[in-house]
Protein backbone atom coordinates (compact mmCIF):
# COMPACT_ATOMS: atom_id res chain seq x y z
CA UNK A 1 0.00 0.00 0.00
CA UNK A 2 1.15 3.55 -0.75
CA UNK A 3 -0.48 6.98 -0.54
CA UNK A 4 -0.60 7.22 -4.32
CA UNK A 5 -2.23 3.81 -4.71
CA UNK A 6 -4.88 4.56 -2.07
CA UNK A 7 -5.56 7.96 -3.70
CA UNK A 8 -6.07 6.28 -7.09
CA UNK A 9 -8.45 3.66 -5.64
CA UNK A 10 -10.60 6.25 -3.86
CA UNK A 11 -10.62 8.76 -6.74
CA UNK A 12 -11.75 6.10 -9.19
CA UNK A 13 -14.70 5.35 -6.89
CA UNK A 14 -15.57 9.06 -6.48
CA UNK A 15 -14.87 9.29 -2.75
CA UNK A 16 -13.99 12.73 -1.35
CA UNK A 17 -11.48 11.52 1.27
CA UNK A 18 -9.03 8.69 1.66
CA UNK A 19 -6.65 7.58 4.36
CA UNK A 20 -3.92 5.00 4.82
CA UNK A 21 -3.69 3.15 8.12
CA UNK A 22 -1.58 0.45 9.75
CA UNK A 23 0.83 0.46 6.77
CA UNK A 24 -1.44 -1.61 4.51
CA UNK A 25 -5.05 -0.44 4.86
CA UNK A 26 -6.84 2.06 2.61
CA UNK A 27 -9.96 3.80 3.99
CA UNK A 28 -12.60 5.43 1.76
CA UNK A 29 -14.97 8.12 3.07
CA UNK A 30 -17.22 10.94 1.89
CA UNK A 31 -17.09 12.58 5.33
CA UNK A 32 -14.78 12.51 8.31
CA UNK A 33 -16.25 12.03 11.77
CA UNK A 34 -14.56 11.30 15.08
CA UNK A 35 -16.02 11.14 18.55
CA UNK A 36 -13.26 13.48 19.85
CA UNK A 37 -12.59 15.92 17.03
CA UNK A 38 -9.17 17.44 17.85
CA UNK A 39 -6.21 15.15 17.40
CA UNK A 40 -2.74 16.47 18.24
CA UNK A 41 0.46 15.38 16.57
CA UNK A 42 3.95 16.86 16.66
CA UNK A 43 4.72 18.93 13.58
CA UNK A 44 2.67 21.34 11.47
CA UNK A 45 -0.53 19.28 11.27
CA UNK A 46 -3.38 19.56 13.79
CA UNK A 47 -2.98 16.19 15.47
CA UNK A 48 -0.72 14.72 18.09
CA UNK A 49 1.03 11.40 17.99
CA UNK A 50 4.11 10.50 19.95
CA UNK A 51 6.18 7.42 20.61
CA UNK A 52 6.27 8.23 24.34
CA UNK A 53 2.54 8.75 24.84
CA UNK A 54 1.14 8.59 28.38
CA UNK A 55 -2.26 9.45 29.82
CA UNK A 56 -0.84 12.44 31.71
CA UNK A 57 0.95 13.75 28.63
CA UNK A 58 -2.29 13.73 26.62
CA UNK A 59 -4.15 15.33 29.53
CA UNK A 60 -1.65 18.18 29.73
CA UNK A 61 -1.86 18.81 25.99
CA UNK A 62 -5.66 19.01 25.98
CA UNK A 63 -5.94 20.93 29.23
CA UNK A 64 -3.44 23.54 28.03
CA UNK A 65 -5.67 24.12 25.00
CA UNK A 66 -8.82 24.54 27.10
CA UNK A 67 -10.54 21.21 26.38
CA UNK A 68 -12.69 19.42 28.95
CA UNK A 69 -12.08 15.85 27.75
CA UNK A 70 -9.21 13.88 26.25
CA UNK A 71 -8.82 10.40 24.86
CA UNK A 72 -5.84 8.16 24.16
CA UNK A 73 -6.02 5.77 21.22
CA UNK A 74 -3.88 3.17 19.47
CA UNK A 75 -1.06 3.37 22.07
CA UNK A 76 0.32 6.72 20.84
CA UNK A 77 -2.53 9.00 19.74
CA UNK A 78 -4.11 11.84 21.72
CA UNK A 79 -7.52 13.43 21.05
CA UNK A 80 -9.25 16.43 22.69
CA UNK A 81 -12.79 17.84 22.66
CA UNK A 82 -15.44 19.48 24.83
CA UNK A 83 -17.96 16.67 24.43
CA UNK A 84 -17.89 12.95 23.71
CA UNK A 85 -20.07 9.85 23.55
CA UNK A 86 -21.31 10.25 19.97
CA UNK A 87 -20.84 6.55 19.19
CA UNK A 88 -21.64 5.17 22.64
CA UNK A 89 -19.51 2.96 24.84
CA UNK A 90 -17.65 -0.15 23.73
CA UNK A 91 -16.57 -3.13 25.85
CA UNK A 92 -13.50 -2.47 27.99
CA UNK A 93 -11.76 -5.40 26.31
CA UNK A 94 -11.50 -3.39 23.05
CA UNK A 95 -9.18 -0.87 24.75
CA UNK A 96 -6.27 -3.28 25.01
CA UNK A 97 -3.15 -1.43 23.83
CA UNK A 98 -0.54 -0.29 26.36
CA UNK A 99 0.67 3.31 26.18
CA UNK A 100 3.98 3.60 24.34
CA UNK A 101 5.31 5.82 27.12
CA UNK A 102 3.88 3.87 30.07
CA UNK A 103 3.43 0.13 29.66
CA UNK A 104 1.48 -0.07 32.94
CA UNK A 105 -1.44 1.94 31.47
CA UNK A 106 -3.82 1.35 28.59
CA UNK A 107 -4.07 3.84 25.73
CA UNK A 108 -7.19 2.69 23.87
CA UNK A 109 -7.05 0.42 20.85
CA UNK A 110 -7.65 0.52 17.08
CA UNK A 111 -10.38 3.17 16.65
CA UNK A 112 -11.08 2.97 20.40
CA UNK A 113 -10.50 5.75 22.97
CA UNK A 114 -9.96 5.64 26.70
CA UNK A 115 -11.68 8.93 27.58
CA UNK A 116 -10.90 11.07 30.63
CA UNK A 117 -11.72 14.54 31.96
CA UNK A 118 -8.99 17.19 32.03
CA UNK A 119 -10.48 18.85 35.12
CA UNK A 120 -11.71 21.90 33.24
CA UNK A 121 -15.43 22.65 33.27
CA UNK A 122 -17.20 20.00 31.22
CA UNK A 123 -19.56 20.87 28.39
CA UNK A 124 -22.24 18.19 28.24
CA UNK A 125 -23.85 18.59 24.86
CA UNK A 126 -27.38 17.23 25.06
CA UNK A 127 -29.88 18.85 22.75
CA UNK A 128 -33.68 18.69 22.83
CA UNK A 129 -34.95 15.63 20.99
CA UNK A 130 -38.73 15.98 21.07
CA UNK A 131 -38.88 13.01 23.47
CA UNK A 132 -40.23 14.65 26.66
CA UNK A 133 -39.09 11.98 29.13
CA UNK A 134 -35.63 11.73 27.56
CA UNK A 135 -35.30 15.52 27.50
CA UNK A 136 -36.25 15.77 31.17
CA UNK A 137 -33.69 13.11 32.13
CA UNK A 138 -31.10 14.91 29.98
CA UNK A 139 -31.76 18.16 31.87
CA UNK A 140 -31.24 16.29 35.15
CA UNK A 141 -27.98 14.81 33.87
CA UNK A 142 -26.79 18.25 32.78
CA UNK A 143 -27.48 19.70 36.23
CA UNK A 144 -25.51 16.92 37.95
CA UNK A 145 -22.54 16.74 35.55
CA UNK A 146 -19.16 18.03 36.64
CA UNK A 147 -15.55 17.28 35.81
CA UNK A 148 -13.63 14.80 37.96
CA UNK A 149 -11.60 16.76 40.52
CA UNK A 150 -7.94 17.21 39.60
CA UNK A 151 -5.48 14.82 41.23
CA UNK A 152 -8.02 12.08 41.88
CA UNK A 153 -7.51 9.67 38.97
CA UNK A 154 -3.95 8.48 38.29
CA UNK A 155 -1.73 5.55 39.21
CA UNK A 156 -0.66 7.17 42.49
CA UNK A 157 -3.72 9.32 43.34
CA UNK A 158 -6.96 7.86 44.74
CA UNK A 159 -8.45 6.00 41.76
CA UNK A 160 -6.62 4.09 39.03
CA UNK A 161 -9.56 3.10 36.82
CA UNK A 162 -13.33 2.82 36.50
CA UNK A 163 -15.53 -0.09 35.51
CA UNK A 164 -19.19 0.18 34.60
CA UNK A 165 -21.68 -2.59 35.39
CA UNK A 166 -25.35 -3.22 34.73
CA UNK A 167 -26.09 -0.20 32.54
CA UNK A 168 -29.90 -0.35 32.25
CA UNK A 169 -32.15 1.95 30.26
CA UNK A 170 -35.90 1.44 30.20
CA UNK A 171 -38.55 3.08 28.05
CA UNK A 172 -42.21 2.24 28.65
CA UNK A 173 -45.47 3.50 27.22
CA UNK A 174 -48.64 1.79 28.41
CA UNK A 175 -52.23 2.38 29.62
CA UNK A 176 -52.84 3.23 33.29
CA UNK A 177 -54.60 -0.11 33.77
CA UNK A 178 -51.20 -1.87 33.38
CA UNK A 179 -49.35 0.29 35.94
CA UNK A 180 -49.38 -2.19 38.83
CA UNK A 181 -48.03 -4.98 36.63
CA UNK A 182 -45.32 -2.76 35.09
CA UNK A 183 -44.08 -1.43 38.44
CA UNK A 184 -42.48 -4.78 39.25
CA UNK A 185 -39.77 -4.00 36.67
CA UNK A 186 -38.57 -0.97 38.66
CA UNK A 187 -36.65 -0.64 41.96
CA UNK A 188 -38.68 -1.17 45.11
CA UNK A 189 -37.90 2.35 46.33
CA UNK A 190 -39.42 3.78 43.14
CA UNK A 191 -42.75 1.96 43.34
CA UNK A 192 -44.35 4.26 45.91
CA UNK A 193 -43.63 7.20 43.61
CA UNK A 194 -45.11 5.38 40.64
CA UNK A 195 -48.31 4.63 42.55
CA UNK A 196 -49.04 8.38 42.49
CA UNK A 197 -49.75 8.06 38.77
CA UNK A 198 -53.07 6.41 39.64
CA UNK A 199 -54.28 9.84 40.76
CA UNK A 200 -54.65 12.80 38.43
CA UNK A 201 -55.05 12.85 34.66
CA UNK A 202 -51.73 14.72 34.23
CA UNK A 203 -49.73 13.35 37.15
CA UNK A 204 -45.93 13.43 36.92
CA UNK A 205 -43.31 11.93 39.21
CA UNK A 206 -39.57 11.47 39.41
CA UNK A 207 -37.67 8.79 41.29
CA UNK A 208 -33.97 8.52 42.02
CA UNK A 209 -31.50 6.95 44.39
CA UNK A 210 -27.75 6.76 44.78
CA UNK A 211 -25.72 4.60 47.16
CA UNK A 212 -21.95 4.51 47.57
CA UNK A 213 -20.03 1.60 49.07
CA UNK A 214 -16.31 2.01 49.88
CA UNK A 215 -14.24 -1.11 50.51
CA UNK A 216 -10.48 -1.51 51.08
CA UNK A 217 -9.69 -2.07 47.37
CA UNK A 218 -12.60 -0.52 45.51
CA UNK A 219 -15.56 1.83 45.74
CA UNK A 220 -18.85 1.47 43.89
CA UNK A 221 -21.81 3.74 43.33
CA UNK A 222 -25.24 2.43 42.37
CA UNK A 223 -27.38 5.18 40.83
CA UNK A 224 -30.71 5.33 39.05
CA UNK A 225 -32.94 8.15 37.87
CA UNK A 226 -36.35 7.99 36.24
CA UNK A 227 -39.30 10.14 35.22
CA UNK A 228 -42.91 9.09 34.60
CA UNK A 229 -45.71 11.20 33.16
CA UNK A 230 -49.39 10.36 32.88
CA UNK A 231 -51.41 12.01 30.13
CA UNK A 232 -55.10 11.13 30.51
CA UNK A 233 -55.11 7.33 30.63
CA UNK A 234 -51.65 6.72 29.21
CA UNK A 235 -48.28 6.63 30.94
CA UNK A 236 -44.82 7.26 29.53
CA UNK A 237 -41.89 6.23 31.70
CA UNK A 238 -38.12 6.27 31.29
CA UNK A 239 -35.30 5.24 33.60
CA UNK A 240 -31.54 4.91 33.42
CA UNK A 241 -29.28 3.21 35.96
CA UNK A 242 -25.75 1.91 36.38
CA UNK A 243 -23.17 0.76 38.89
CA UNK A 244 -19.75 2.41 38.61
CA UNK A 245 -16.84 0.72 40.37
CA UNK A 246 -13.53 2.47 40.98
CA UNK A 247 -10.28 0.64 41.71
CA UNK A 248 -8.68 2.44 44.65
CA UNK A 249 -5.05 3.20 45.41
CA UNK A 250 -3.91 1.86 48.79
CA UNK A 251 -2.96 4.57 51.27
CA UNK A 252 -0.39 4.10 54.03
CA UNK A 253 0.89 5.78 57.17
CA UNK A 254 4.70 5.68 57.29
CA UNK A 255 6.61 5.85 60.56
CA UNK A 256 10.13 5.04 61.71
CA UNK A 257 10.93 2.24 64.10
CA UNK A 258 14.33 2.01 65.74
CA UNK A 259 15.67 -1.55 65.95
CA UNK A 260 18.78 -2.40 67.92
CA UNK A 261 20.83 -5.54 68.22
CA UNK A 262 23.90 -6.33 70.25
CA UNK A 263 27.11 -7.11 68.42
CA UNK A 264 29.75 -8.22 70.89
CA UNK A 265 29.84 -5.36 73.41
CA UNK A 266 28.13 -2.75 71.25
CA UNK A 267 24.52 -2.01 70.35
CA UNK A 268 23.98 -1.50 66.65
CA UNK A 269 20.76 0.42 65.94
CA UNK A 270 19.01 1.27 62.69
CA UNK A 271 15.83 3.14 61.79
CA UNK A 272 13.40 1.17 59.68
CA UNK A 273 10.53 2.79 57.76
CA UNK A 274 7.30 0.96 58.52
CA UNK A 275 4.29 1.26 56.22
CA UNK A 276 0.89 0.67 57.75
CA UNK A 277 -2.23 0.47 55.63
CA UNK A 278 -4.83 3.08 56.56
CA UNK A 279 -8.38 3.90 55.56
CA UNK A 280 -9.56 6.94 53.62
CA UNK A 281 -10.14 10.25 55.36
CA UNK A 282 -13.23 12.42 54.96
CA UNK A 283 -11.79 14.60 52.19
CA UNK A 284 -10.61 11.56 50.21
CA UNK A 285 -14.05 9.95 50.50
CA UNK A 286 -15.67 13.14 49.18
CA UNK A 287 -13.26 13.16 46.22
CA UNK A 288 -13.94 9.49 45.47
CA UNK A 289 -17.68 10.16 45.61
CA UNK A 290 -17.34 13.17 43.27
CA UNK A 291 -15.32 11.10 40.77
CA UNK A 292 -17.89 8.28 40.82
CA UNK A 293 -20.66 10.84 40.35
CA UNK A 294 -18.87 12.36 37.35
CA UNK A 295 -18.30 8.95 35.77
CA UNK A 296 -21.96 8.00 36.40
CA UNK A 297 -23.21 11.11 34.59
CA UNK A 298 -20.82 10.35 31.73
CA UNK A 299 -22.33 6.88 31.35
CA UNK A 300 -25.85 8.34 31.55
CA UNK A 301 -24.99 10.87 28.83
CA UNK A 302 -23.72 8.11 26.55
CA UNK A 303 -26.90 6.07 26.98
CA UNK A 304 -29.62 8.75 26.79
CA UNK A 305 -30.20 7.86 23.15
CA UNK A 306 -31.65 4.52 24.23
CA UNK A 307 -34.62 6.21 25.94
CA UNK A 308 -37.37 6.49 23.34
CA UNK A 309 -40.19 8.30 25.16
Q: Supply the pLDDT for residue 44.
A: 28
pLDDT at 30: 41
Of 9-18, 20-29, 79-88, 210-219, the range with the highest mean pLDDT is 210-219
Cα distance between residue 220 and residue 243, in whole Å = 7
pLDDT range class, residue 123, cuts 50, 70, 90: very low
Of 10-19, 132-141, 183-192, 294-303, where does mean pLDDT reach its minimum? 10-19
Question: Residues 247-280: pLDDT tens digits?
Answer: 999 998 888 888 888 888 788 888 888 888 888 9
Backbone Cα Rg of the chain: 25
Closest CA to 48 of 77, 12, 10: 77
The percent of residues in the chain predicted with pLDDT above 70, rounded, is 81
Residue 124 banded pLDDT, cuts 50, 70, 90 = very low
- Whether 85 and 142 have beta carbons less than 8 Å apart is answered as no
pLDDT at 284: 92
Question: Among 114, 35, 36, 122, which residue's Cα sits nearest to residue 80?
Answer: 36
Q: In this model, does residue 33 exceed pLDDT 50?
A: no
Amino acid sequence: MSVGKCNHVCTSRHFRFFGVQARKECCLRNALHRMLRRQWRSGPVTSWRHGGMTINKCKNICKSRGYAFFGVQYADQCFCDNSYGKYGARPDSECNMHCNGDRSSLCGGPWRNNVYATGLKATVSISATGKPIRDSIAAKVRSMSAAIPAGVVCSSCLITSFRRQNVIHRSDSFPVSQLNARMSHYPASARNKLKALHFGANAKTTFEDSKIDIRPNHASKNTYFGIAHRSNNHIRLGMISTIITATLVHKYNVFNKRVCRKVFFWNRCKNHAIKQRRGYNGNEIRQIDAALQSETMRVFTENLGHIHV
